[in-house]
Amino acid sequence: MKRKSIFLTLIILTSILLNVSILSAQEKNKFDSELFSITGPKGWKMEADRNSWMPVKYINNINNSAVFKETINVSFANPEESKDEFINGLKKQVDNFIVIKQGNKKVKNKNTEWIVYTYTYKNFKIKGKVYFFGNKDKPGLLVGYTSNISSYGRFLEEFEKTVDSTVLY
């Protein structure tokens, strides 16, 4: 009888610990795959599809009445495409695409390049920032943030924390 009680107690404790770690990962908005992991802003909705070219997207749920919601997209770049070719592709897809700034940043010992840009989508003036993560034998990873131009700065810090959480495997 004692053995049953100890065994049952161990099962219950293990179950509780597993549930706590799962809830903790969900609360932190963490996405893990065999290629990378990333943690999105708390309170933002995470949409994930491991089999997609865009495996994870975070959508701002803080201002539910907004017509254009801020998003953080994580996608795989075409390994044959340079950063400049990627930018030229964007220029063909949207109206008034302009690169405002560009630079470099080290994220978890990985060199990245980034651009800040604006464009027009329907009647919306959009501002965004995208980081280009490169890796020799795996597809490049893009981590981008888009927002209505008027609210861009409001969530930029959350985006930068998300970028800083990115780990390539």
Phi and psi, residue 15, nearest 5°: -60, -45
Question: Per-residue pLDDT for 23 more than 80?
Answer: no
What's the pLDDT band for 166 if we cut at 50, 70, 90?
very high
Q: Are 57 and 47 in contact (CB under 8 A)?
A: yes
Higher-pLDDT residue of 69 and 160 is 160
Q: What is the pLDDT of residue 5?
A: 47
Asked whether the CA dihedral 6, 8, 9, 15 is positive or negative, the reply is: positive
User: Is the entire prediction scored with pTM above 0.75?
Assistant: yes
| H or E, element range at 146 | strand 141-148
Q: What is the pLDDT of residue 134?
A: 78
Q: What is the pLDDT of residue 169?
A: 84
Most confident of 7-11, 62-66, 141-145: 141-145
Query: Could you report the per-residue pLDDT of 79-130, keeping only the tens digit for each?
Result: 778 888 888 988 999 999 999 999 999 999 888 999 999 999 888 899 999 9
Phi and psi, residue 51, nearest 5°: -95, 10
